[in-house]
Structure 1
């Protein structure tokens, strides 16, 4: 199994966390923490509550991973993920938070590289993020 630390990752992983719910954003950041696994670099977070700001920040660059809440309103993370994948030439990897595990097929439609489901489970989210970051370096 490939070690994520061997991957071509930046010294600090900038993670965009989008949700219209501040509690969901807080849960994601707390679940992952500043250093989620020993084989990953430290994480730095950018919290965003609206879809237009997500598009603006992703377009500006400097984001290594986006975690988008599929349950956000009025713009859900799955539609936003699809838009970003369609519009950005070099879109960073995206992980979508689904309302339930059975909705993973929708996240696949959105072209997200990974999924995790509500309620936020720190272990599940950390493993999903590590998988997405491994996928990022494999392509």
Structure 2
């Protein structure tokens, strides 16, 4: 099992992406948009779904996710607040992609310290590119931090 503590998987490995939303259809739309292999150089993606904040915190505490995709509109705890909390509480916090419903809400993702933002309706090409780039950036950061 990958994990933030163990570093992001390489091109031949599998990255674990945690998708958080209280709505199963939102989780499914994120998974469908990103796909199982967002780019050849980042390898395959295995998804773990979380419907509540406790599941997200447990996965992060255990280092079980290489990337988090959080629904900014999740209830009762929105992804933006979760992102901000994780950045302050988890020493080796995995990178975070937030999804928002309105382009005007992108600034809130900046406040929450997300690494990237996707706007609904999700474009599959853009979603895959954004997730792949965040995984690449995280991998590069992980490699330089261990030297």
C-alpha contact (below 8 Å) 1:113/1:135 kept by paired residues: no
Displacement after TM superposition at 1:104 (Å): 1.3
- Counterpart of 1:112 in structure 2 is 114
Match among 44, 47, 54 for residue 46 of structure 2: 44
**What is the aligned length?**
132
Are residues 1:93 and 2:95 paired?
yes
- Counterpart of 2:105 in structure 1 is 103
C-alpha contact (below 8 Å) 1:9/1:41 kept by paired residues: no
Q: What TM-score, normalized to structure 1? A: 0.89
- Counterpart of 1:5 in structure 2 is none
Match among 59, 66, 87 for residue 57 of structure 1: 59
Cα distance in 1 for residues equivalent to 2:101 and 2:48: 22
Displacement after TM superposition at 1:124 (Å): 1.6
Structure 2 residue ranges without an equivalent (≥5):
1-6, 142-147
Name the stretch that deviates more: 124-133 or 21-30. Answer: 124-133
Structure 1 residue ranges without an equivalent (≥5):
1-7
C-alpha contact (below 8 Å) 1:35/1:42 kept by paired residues: yes
Cα distance in 2 for residues equivalent to 1:30 and 1:22: 12
Are residues 1:129 and 2:131 paired?
yes
Root-mean-square deviation (Å): 1.3
Displacement after TM superposition at 1:107 (Å): 0.5
Q: What TM-score, normalized to structure 2? A: 0.85
Cα distance in 2 for residues equivalent to 1:20 and 1:93: 20
Q: Which runs of at least 4 in structure 1 moved beyond 3 Å after TM superposition?
A: none
